[in-house]
Amino acid sequence: MRMPLGLLAIAALAVACPRHDEAGGAPKPAGAAAPQASPGAPSAADASAKESERETACVDQWLREHKLDQFGNPEGTMYPGGTPLFNEATGERMPRLPYVYGRQPEAKKACHPASP
């Protein structure tokens, strides 16, 4: 398999460039590993993912209790393209929870951890 010239150049630079620690100190060997969290300790990404899962579950429950579909509209609402989250004119996709919160501010009050 041939590697495109641009990727080959990037790979060569990555190998040749010395690595520095986070404080900008001395170079580390190319194979040096980044500091790891202690075993069993949850990382910030794990905590954020769990909070996001709890928020999503809360919103889904709130929508069911209010007889709304997954987008905060009345059950049975039909969408061109199958979802209101995709703008066919721009090609952009919106995340579901901000869309729901825009339509149903009470769901945000009930479920968003940073809402007042």
Q: pLDDT digits over 62-90, tens only?
A: 999 999 999 999 999 999 888 999 988 89
Which is nearest to 4 in space by CA: 12, 14, 16? 12
Of the candidates 25, 28, 8, 7, the one whose C-alpha atom is nearest the C-alpha of residue 17 is: 28
Helices (H), 5-80: 5-16, 44-65
Q: Are 21 and 28 in contact (CB under 8 A)?
A: yes
| Cβ burial, residue 112 (10 Å; 0-12/13-18/19+) | middle
**pTM greater than 0.85 (yes/no):** no
pLDDT exceeds 50 at position 25: no
The label of the residue with tokens 């940073």 reads 114
**Helix or strand or coil: residue 28?**
strand
Identity of residue 115 = S
21 vs 103, more confident: 103
